[in-house]
Amino acid sequence: MNKQPTHYYIELSNVYVLKNNLQKEFSAYLKTLDRQLIKAEALENMKDVINQVVAQKNEANKRCNPIILTYTVFDPGVHRLEGFSQVTFDFKPAYLS
């Protein structure tokens, strides 16, 4: 098995109680990404796109507390979205030939 993943599998595994329109809209966006496969070299670009979307959602919902995202890397290479505790959203490594 390769040490570097060739792809990442996007998984939205938990959605907890959503409290406002900002959370509902951003959760709905993340659901559109669930179960997609992206190339490993596109991972950082995908994170940038998600950050742009959350910035747009924050701007459109100024009365809500803004969502500030970060990403944490867990072993074995799982990238987890942090800062939006109402969902569990991971990029999981995939090794395809």
DSSP output for 8-74: EEEEEEEE----SHHHHHHHHHHHHHTT-EEEGGGHHHHHHHHHHHHHHHHHHTTTSPPP--EEEEE
Range of the domain at 87: 7-94
List, for residues 47-59, the tens digit of each pLDDT value.
999 999 999 999 9
Q: Indicate the pTM of the whole model.
A: 0.93
Confidence of residue 1 (pLDDT cuts 50, 70, 90): very low
Mean pLDDT of the chain: 95
Domain count, the chain: 1
User: Does a structural domain hold residue 2?
Assistant: no
User: Does a structural domain hold residue 1?
Assistant: no
Confidence of residue 97 (pLDDT cuts 50, 70, 90): confident
Report which residue type is found at 80: R
User: Does a structural domain hold residue 39?
Assistant: yes
